[in-house]
Amino acid sequence: MSTSNVRNIESLEVFHAGLLRLSGQWSKTLQEVRMTIQRADAYFTQDLPGYWRRQRQIAERELNEAKDRLAEKQAAVRPGDRMSATEATKRVHSATTRLQECEAKCRQAKAWALEISQRCDQLLGPLVDVVEHCEVLLPTAADELRTLIEQLRLYADQPRRDG
């Protein structure tokens, strides 16, 4: 008959509790990482492009208003009645520059959105595997260890048989 040396079941109990804590802590941390990735993805794919679309619309409206003001200043029945349009011309130029900047930012935001979305997808793939370890494999291992501990306790409580 084989003999076993079961001396410290309590250390296995501590290990079991540690596995459960580890699983819970990792799950919480992984949820935070997943939420951070999703927030970054939402910012770059929705918030930032939306911001620059709204800024472009504002710039377009400002350009149209500046052109209208310039046209009003330049409209005159006689050439001598024309008002100075220097400031209005500067406003049109400034509004045009702002619109061009907003359009460039819109294009850049689309490029960033695509890049960040791909990177986030690349991060989330392996993260799913780690989540599976935390939510399935570690608890399963802890359950198996619990079963072994119970069996060891039963074995340790039996009187020894000398054969």
What does each of the 163 residues of the chain score in pLDDT, given as a tens digit? 455 555 688 888 999 999 999 999 999 999 999 999 999 999 999 999 999 999 999 999 999 999 999 888 887 656 666 667 788 899 999 999 999 999 999 999 999 999 999 999 999 989 988 888 888 999 999 999 999 989 988 887 766 555 4
Q: Are 1 and 161 in contact (CB under 8 A)?
A: yes
Nearest 5°: phi and psi at 37? -60, -45
Enter the tokens of residue 61. Answer: 């409206």
Considering the entire predicted model, what is its pTM? 0.70
Sequence spans of domains, the chain: 12-155
